[in-house]
Chains A and B, each alone.
Chain A
Amino acid sequence: MKISRTVTITIDGKEYIAKEGQKLLWTALENGVYIPHLCGIEEEEKPAAGCRLCFVEIDGFLNPVTACTQKVKEGMVVRTRSKRVDKLVGTAFELLMSNHRLGCARCGANGRCELQKIAKERGLKLKTSRLRSLVPEVPVDESPDKFTYDQTRCVLCGRCVWVDHHKAKIGAIGLVRRGMSRKMATFGETAMADSSCTQCGMCVEACPVGALTFKEK
Chain B
Amino acid sequence: MSNPAVEKMYRELRDKAVSKAEGMNEKPYVMVGTATCGRAAGAMKILETFRDELAGHQVDAELLEVGCLGHCYAEPMVAVYKPGHPFLCYGNVDEGIASRLVSDFLVGDDPCFEFAMAAFEPNDVFPTFADYPRGVYEQKIILADCGLINPEDIDHYIARDGYLALAKVLDMDPGAVVEEIKESRLRGRGGAGFPAGKKWEICLKAEEPVKYVICNADEGDPGAFMDRALLESNPHQLIEGLAIAAYAVGASQGYIYVRAEYPLAIKRLHTALDQARDKGLIGESVLGSDFKFDIQIFQGSGAFVCGEETALISSIEGNPGIPGHRPPFPAVSGLRGKPTIINNVKTLSYVPHVIRNGAAWFRGIGTPNSPGTAVFALAGKVVNTGLVEVPMGTSLRTLVYDVGNGIKEEKAFKAVQIGGPSGGCLPESALDLEIDFDSLQHAGAMMGSGGLVVLDEEDCMVEIARFFLEFTQKESCGKCTFCRLGTKQMLEILTDITKGRGKPEALELLWDLAEDIKTGSLCALGKTAPNPVLSTLRFFRGEYEAHINEGCCPSLMCNELISYRIVPEKCSKLCDACIASCPVEAVYTRPDMLKAVDLEKCVKCNNCLVTCKPLYDAVMKVTPPETGEGGDEN
- A residues near B (Cβ < 8 Å) are 46-53, 55, 63-64, 66, 69, 84, 87-88, 91-92, 95-96, 98-99, 130-132, 134, 156, 177-182
Contact = CB atoms under 8 A, between A and B. Distances in A.
19 contacts: A48-B479, A49-B324, A49-B522, A52-B480, A52-B520, A69-B325, A88-B519, A91-B513, A91-B520, A92-B481, A95-B481, A95-B482, A130-B509, A131-B489, A156-B479, A177-B478, A179-B484, A180-B485, A180-B488
B489 A134 contact: yes
B478 A182 contact: yes
The 8 closest A-B pairs by CB, nearest first: A182-B478, A95-B485, A91-B516, A49-B325, A179-B476, A179-B478, A50-B479, A52-B481
B338 to A, nearest CB: 15
A156 B476 CA distance: 14
What is the interface of chain A mostly: helix, strand, loop, or mixed?
A: loop
Contacts of B325: 46-47, 49, 66, 69
B180 interface: no
Given A91-B486, A95-B482, A132-B489, A182 B477 contact: yes
A136 to B, nearest CB: 12
A209 to B, nearest CB: 14
Interface string B513-555: 1001001111000000000000000000000000000000000
B485 A99 contact: yes
B208 interface: no
Given A51-B480, A92-B481, 19 more contacts: A46-B324, A46-B325, A49-B480, A63-B519, A88-B516, A88-B520, A92-B516, A92-B520, A96-B485, A98-B489, A132-B489, A156-B478, A178-B303, A178-B475, A179-B473, A179-B474, A179-B484, A180-B478, A182-B484
Contacts of B585: none
Nearest to A182: B478
Contact of A52 (B476, B478, B522): B522
Nearest to A180: B488
Contacts of A180: 473, 476, 478, 484-485, 488
A182 B484 CA distance: 9
Nearest to A155: B481
A51 B509 contact: no
Contacts of B474: 179
Nearest to A49: B325
B626 interface: no
Nearest to B473: A179
B384 to A, nearest CB: 36
A193 to B, nearest CB: 26
A178 B321 CA distance: 10
B492 interface: yes
A130 B473 CA distance: 20
A95 B489 CA distance: 8
Nearest to B513: A91
Contacts of A92: 481-482, 516, 520
Given A46-B324, A88-B516, A134 B479 contact: no
A170 B480 CA distance: 25
A135 B344 CA distance: 39
A178 B516 contact: no
A46 B314 CA distance: 13
Interface string B451-487: 0000000000000000000000111111111101110
Contact of B476 (A46, A66, A178): A178
A182 B483 CA distance: 12
A181 B475 CA distance: 11
Contacts of A64: 519
Contacts of B485: 95-96, 98-99, 134, 180
A180 B490 CA distance: 13
Nearest to A48: B479
A179 B520 contact: no
Contacts of B522: 49-50, 52
Contacts of B480: 49-52
B489 A87 contact: no
Contacts of A55: 520
A51 B521 CA distance: 10
A50 B489 contact: no
Contacts of B516: 87-88, 91-92
A47 B325 CA distance: 8
A181 B478 contact: yes
Contacts of B489: 95, 98, 131-132, 134
B477 A95 contact: no
Nearest to A68: B325
Nearest to A63: B519
A132 to B, nearest CB: 6
Nearest to A69: B325
A50 B485 CA distance: 12
B350 to A, nearest CB: 30
Contacts of B473: 179-180
Contacts of A156: 478-479, 484
A162 to B, nearest CB: 14
Contacts of A48: 479
Nearest to B474: A179
Nearest to B493: A132
Contacts of B520: 52, 55, 88, 91-92
Contacts of B475: 178-179
A178 B488 contact: no
A181 B489 CA distance: 15
B586 to A, nearest CB: 33
Q: Which of A47, A87, A180 lies at the interface centre, i.e. has the most chain B CB atoms within 10 A of its CB?
A: A180
A177 B325 CA distance: 20
B477 A52 contact: no
B543 to A, nearest CB: 23
